[in-house]
Structure 1
Amino acid sequence: MQAYILINCKTGREISVITELKELPEIIEINGIWGKYDVFIKIKTPDPNGVELILQRLRNHPDVTDTFTMHVLYGQGGSIDQEI
């Protein structure tokens, strides 16, 4: 499973959230961004429930105020063969 997640953080807590999330092996890319959201992450996991587990962790994080998740559709630019 692969997904992109946009995150809003409490003001001034972006760097600490990024630093903490960098430690998760499922996160293969993470960036602070400008605009409606504060942080962009790309996750990849072999576990069918992996995306949901990451989302639960994010939504329970005291400095995360909102998330927006986009699941990758295999066969539209990627293929099921490219999935872990």
Structure 2
Amino acid sequence: MDKAFVLINCDPGKEQSILGQLRKINNVVDAQGTYGVYDIVARIESDSKSQLDNIISDQIRKLDHVNSTLTLIPIDEQNIIPDLIPDVVPDVIPEQKKPLDESSEDEEEDLDENDYDDETKLN
């Protein structure tokens, strides 16, 4: 079974009308209004790619008030061979964190409020 998701842009205010028409088309399994760049997403299932093409080109794209479509065809997971996808290994390993130099730690501990002048305190 072949599947496709069709993202649809339509005229403002015509979403409900188009949704109703989509739901009447054979092989449109689901249609939903969406927020974002596209107004509607429709899921289509058919027995062949040529039937998918017919539904999208000759039926959905020709609906009144449909301005544009974008078709997404899912990848068939059975055709993906896991060995072809390499494991992600970082090519750079950061250096281990080094402890602060002991002399700089001692210097910071010895400083107190009296070590700063009035101008430094304001900043």
| Alignment TM-score, normalising by the size of structure 1 | 0.83
Structure 1: where are the runs of 5+ without partners?
none
Identity of aligned residues (%): 25
The one of 56, 61, 64 aligned to 1:62: 64
Structure 2: where are the runs of 5+ without partners?
80-123
Residue identity in the other structure for 1:64: V
Give the Cα separation in 1 of the matches to 2:47 and 2:67: 27
Higher strand proportion (structure 1 or 2):
1
Equivalent residue, structure 2, for 1:53: 54
Between 15-24 and 56-65, the greater mean CA deviation after superposition: 56-65
Residue identity in the other structure for 1:60: K
The total of aligned residue pairs comes to 77
Residue identity in the other structure for 1:11: P
Give the Cα separation in 1 of the matches to 2:29 and 2:23: 8
Equivalent residue, structure 2, for 1:11: 12
The C-alpha deviation readout for 1:2-47, integer Å capped at 9, x for no partner, is 0111001111111000001101121111100011000011110003
Give the Cα separation in 2 of the matches to 1:50 and 1:18: 20
Give the CA RMSD over aligned residues: 1.4
Q: Secondary structure at the match of 1:72?
A: coil
Residue identity in the other structure for 1:22: R
Give the Cα separation in 1 of the matches to 2:67 and 2:47: 27
The C-alpha deviation readout for 1:30-83, integer Å capped at 9, x for no partner, is 1000110000111100033121112112222221001010011112xxx48xxx
Give the Cα separation in 1 of the matches to 2:29 and 2:41: 11
Higher helix proportion (structure 1 or 2):
2
Q: Which has the larger radius of gyration?
A: 2
